[in-house]
């Protein structure tokens, strides 16, 4: 990312001159500055820079000042707005009318001046004009001289700002398909209308043979390739695992060494396809140097590619990880099997947390009874009610090992918090097995590790339903550790060359979360994206901005924050969400 969107702060005011407006100027602007400081002090963009806020040049009391603010925000690359006031204002004259900006309004809860009355009035205006806005109303009355932001207000401001910044960051970017549909997986049947209308994104596509062309014609940075091979030999090939293929399918040492060289070149080329590379321009490849402006990508792989060439596991795993031969850096978002629906889910998690995302098959629910039958042992602790086996063919981020720590607990960190020791630990915890050539006839290498237990995580999935559109599923829970002998017996029934994360969702009285089986039984596809942290509330807020209803979640009701107009669609929150999303439709249509 070269230029991140900013959040515009709109201080609105009572327009009556001659005593009223003058008495409120300082207070209103002080609140705007406090909101800007709250956001910039707490939220970061993907590169680690603070989220920037832009405040209108003056308070906004009448239409010309609204227009001047809008012009400034256009110049300053604003992507969302927060309107702040401590008093009554003229609602229809001061409101944000941009239909593409996610918008929120904080009306100061004070008795001296009715900021909260303006909040109610302007939210009614937003509803009447079809411009949904989030309403922020503090629980407790504040004194007029108090410019602090109460904790409940701050929580909503930050939840909106995180979600709105994620939405604005996606707009104008691309999803790049490298290849096409993988094995008939619905998520890899990429729907351009969804990307354009709901996310404001383009769809770019290249045939997989572009990778071979660039390899054959030397369209990659040779110096970087030499550096990458040295790093790979030091950290990855030394951890090459046992070849479990039958003798007839076992590659020679020479062929395996050639595969290592192939997958390293492939990683560099896939990254260049996404973001471009100025070094290619110096080499005379001006078009290839541009890339595709891709904020996320997917690689088809199976089967046309993997039946003949080394698989994409190494490339996908490294790109999805917060480090490589160039050091510690922001993780990319690359979906296995070009599952664009899961790629979008990963992108949501990444933009909300600035952390690497786990891509996994939601492979197997293991009931306590089935585990005991197969292993002769009982699941205990957090796993006692059953577990879900998250496993994929080697493309999972190495951050998912859990080898990054905070207060002696496993964590997945934003890249700027990761240290070199943690990089070494993640690499050391990963074994690179020669690919299972029953699945991957062309060979390659798959990563293998076991995620540490005790990490709070959120599993999510976007699905497309004909006649309904996109829907989002959310399941907050934890990674868990199980007895090593149980893990070995269960893991080897699937594939011992792939990485495993054992997951347990948080249960409640909703039908989809009454037990672990119900979560698995209600999951809408074969893949899931897993983000560190319990981010379900942020996902719900973000989904409402995008007009994507949430069909399944286990987030506490008091944490749910949607636009105020959702309250007009009935008291059943989930039903109201569907009705509101249907009524307003995608924001870019």
Model confidence pLDDT, tens digit, residues 35-49? 999 999 999 999 999
Residue 527 known to bind ligand: yes
Among residues 343, 309, 306, 72, which one has the least CA distance to residue 188? 343
Q: What is the mean pLDDT of residues 298-324?
A: 96
- pLDDT surpassing 70 at residue 155: yes
347-381 pLDDT, tens digit each: 999 999 999 999 999 999 999 999 999 999 999 99
The whole-number pLDDT of residue 123 equals: 96
- pLDDT surpassing 90 at residue 537: yes
Among residues 61, 53, 50, which one has the least CA distance to residue 24? 61
The whole-number pLDDT of residue 455 equals: 98
Instruction: Return the half-sphere exposure (C-beta side, CA atoms, 13 A cut-off) of residue 354.
Output: 20
The whole-number pLDDT of residue 96 equals: 97
Instruction: Return the half-sphere exposure (C-beta side, CA atoms, 13 A cut-off) of residue 321.
Output: 31
CATH architecture under which domain 6-170 falls: 3-Layer(aba) Sandwich (3.40)
Question: Does 47 qualify as catalytic in the annotation?
Answer: no
Strand partners for 458: 476, 531
Q: What is the mean pLDDT of residues 184-204?
A: 97
- pLDDT surpassing 70 at residue 470: yes
* Angle, CA 563 vertex, CA 557 and CA 566 arms, to 5°: 75
Q: Choosing from 330, 337, 339, 476, which is the catalytic residue?
A: 337
Q: What is the mean pLDDT of residues 177-185?
A: 95
- pLDDT surpassing 90 at residue 142: no
Helix axes of 484-491 and 368-375: crossing angle, nearest 10 degrees: 90
Residue 410 binned pLDDT confidence (cut-offs 50, 70, 90): very high
Q: Among the listed ranges 13-22, 160-169, 265-274, 323-332, which one has the minimum average pLDDT value?
A: 13-22
The whole-number pLDDT of residue 218 equals: 97
- pLDDT surpassing 90 at residue 306: yes
Q: Choosing from 197, 330, 361, 495, which is the catalytic residue?
A: 361
Residue 487 known to bind ligand: no
How much of the chain exceeds pLDDT 70, in percent?
A: 100
Contact 508, 518 (CB under 8 A): no
- pLDDT surpassing 90 at residue 325: yes
Residue 108 binned pLDDT confidence (cut-offs 50, 70, 90): confident
Q: What is the mean pLDDT of residues 199-226?
A: 98
Indicate yes or no: pTM above 0.95.
Answer: yes
Fold of 174-584: L-fucose Isomerase; Chain A, domain 3 (3.20.14)
Q: Which helix (H) or strand (E) holds 446?
A: strand 445-448
Residue 145 binned pLDDT confidence (cut-offs 50, 70, 90): confident
Residue 188 binned pLDDT confidence (cut-offs 50, 70, 90): very high
Residue 337 known to bind ligand: yes
Question: Does 337 qualify as catalytic in the annotation?
Answer: yes
* Angle, CA 77 vertex, CA 73 and CA 81 arms, to 5°: 50
Of how many residues is the chain composed? 589
Q: Which residue has the higher pLDDT, 88 or 523?
A: 523
What is the C-alpha to C-alpha distance for residues 480 and 496, in angstroms, rounded to an integer? 18
The whole-number pLDDT of residue 112 equals: 74
What is 348-365 written as a DSSP string? Answer: HHHHHH-S--EEEEEEEE
Place of tokens 């004909």: 466
Domain boundaries, the chain: 6-170, 174-584
552-577 pLDDT, tens digit each: 999 999 999 999 999 999 999 999 99
The whole-number pLDDT of residue 1 equals: 62
Contact 287, 217 (CB under 8 A): no
Residue 456 binned pLDDT confidence (cut-offs 50, 70, 90): very high
If you average pLDDT over every residue of the chain, what do you get?
A: 96
């Amino acid at each position: 990312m070269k230029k991140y969107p900013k959040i515009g702060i709109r201080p609105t005011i009572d327009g009556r001159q001659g005593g009223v407006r003058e008495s409120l100027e300082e207070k209103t602007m002080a609140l705007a500055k406090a909101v800007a400081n709250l956001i910039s002090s707490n939220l970061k963009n993907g590169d680690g820079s603070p989220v920037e806020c832009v405040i209108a040049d003056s308070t906004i009391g009448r239409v010309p000042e609204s227009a001047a603010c809008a012009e400034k925000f256009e110049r300053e690359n604003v992507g969302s707005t927060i309107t702040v006031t401590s008093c009554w204002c003229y609602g229809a004259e001061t409101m944000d009318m941009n239909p593409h900006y996610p918008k929120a309004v904080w009306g100061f809860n004070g008795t001296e001046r009715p900021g909260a009355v303006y909040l109610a009035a302007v939210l009614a205006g937003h509803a009447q004009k079809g411009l949904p806005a989030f309403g922020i109303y503090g629980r407790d009355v504040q004194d007029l001289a108090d410019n602090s932001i109460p904790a409940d207000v701050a929580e909503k401001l930050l939840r909106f700002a995180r979600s709105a910044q994620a939405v604005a960051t996606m707009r104008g970017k691309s999803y790049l398909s490298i290849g096409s549909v993988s094995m008939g997986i619905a998520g890899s049947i990429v729907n351009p209308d969804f990307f354009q209308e709901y996310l404001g994104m383009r769809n770019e596509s290249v045939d997989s043979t572009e990778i071979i062309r660039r390899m054959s014609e030397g369209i990659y940075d040779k110096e970087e390739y030499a550096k990458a091979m040295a790093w790979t030999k030091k950290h990855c090939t030394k951890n090459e695992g046992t070849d479990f293929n039958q003798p007839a399918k076992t590659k020679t040492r020479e062929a395996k060494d050639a595969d290592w060289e192939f997958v390293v070149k492939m990683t560099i080329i896939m990254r260049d396809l996404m973001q471009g590379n100025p070094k290619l321009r110096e080499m005379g490849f001006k078009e290839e140097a541009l890339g595709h402006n891709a904020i996320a990508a997917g690689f088809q792989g199976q089967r046309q590619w993997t039946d003949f060439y080394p698989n994409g596991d190494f490339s996908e795993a490294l790109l999805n990880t917060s480090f490589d031969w160039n050091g510690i850096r922001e993780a990319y978002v690359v979906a296995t099997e070009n599952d664009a629906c899961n790629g979008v889910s990963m992108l949501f998690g990444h933009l909300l947390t600035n952390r690497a995302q786990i891509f996994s098959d939601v492979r197997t629910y293991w009931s306590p009874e089935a585990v005991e039958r197969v292993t002769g042992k009982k699941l205990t602790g957090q796993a006692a009610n059953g577990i879900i086996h998250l496993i994929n063919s080697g493309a999972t981020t190495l951050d998912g090992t859990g080898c990054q720590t905070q207060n002696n607990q496993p964590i997945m960190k934003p890249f700027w918090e990761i240290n070199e020791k943690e990089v070494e630990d993640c690499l050391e915890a990963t074994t690179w097995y020669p690919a299972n050539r029953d699945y991957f006839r062309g060979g390659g290498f798959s990563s293998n590790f076991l995620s540490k237990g005790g990490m709070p995580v959120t599993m999510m999935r976007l699905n497309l339903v004909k006649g309904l559109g996109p829907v989002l599923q959310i399941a907050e829970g934890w990674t868990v550790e199980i007895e090593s002998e149980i893990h070995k017996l269960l893991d080897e029934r699937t594939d011992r060359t792939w990485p495993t994360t054992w997951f347990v969702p948080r249960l409640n009285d909703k039908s989809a979360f009454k037990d672990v089986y119900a979560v698995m039984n209600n999951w809408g596809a074969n893949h899931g994206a897993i983000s560190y942290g319990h981010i379900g509330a942020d996902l719900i807020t973000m989904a409402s901005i995008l007009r994507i209803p949430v069909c399944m979640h286990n987030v506490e009701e008091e944490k749910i924050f949607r636009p105020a107009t959702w309250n007009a669609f009935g008291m059943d929150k989930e039903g109201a969400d569907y009705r509101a999303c249907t009524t307003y439709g995608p924001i870019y249509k």
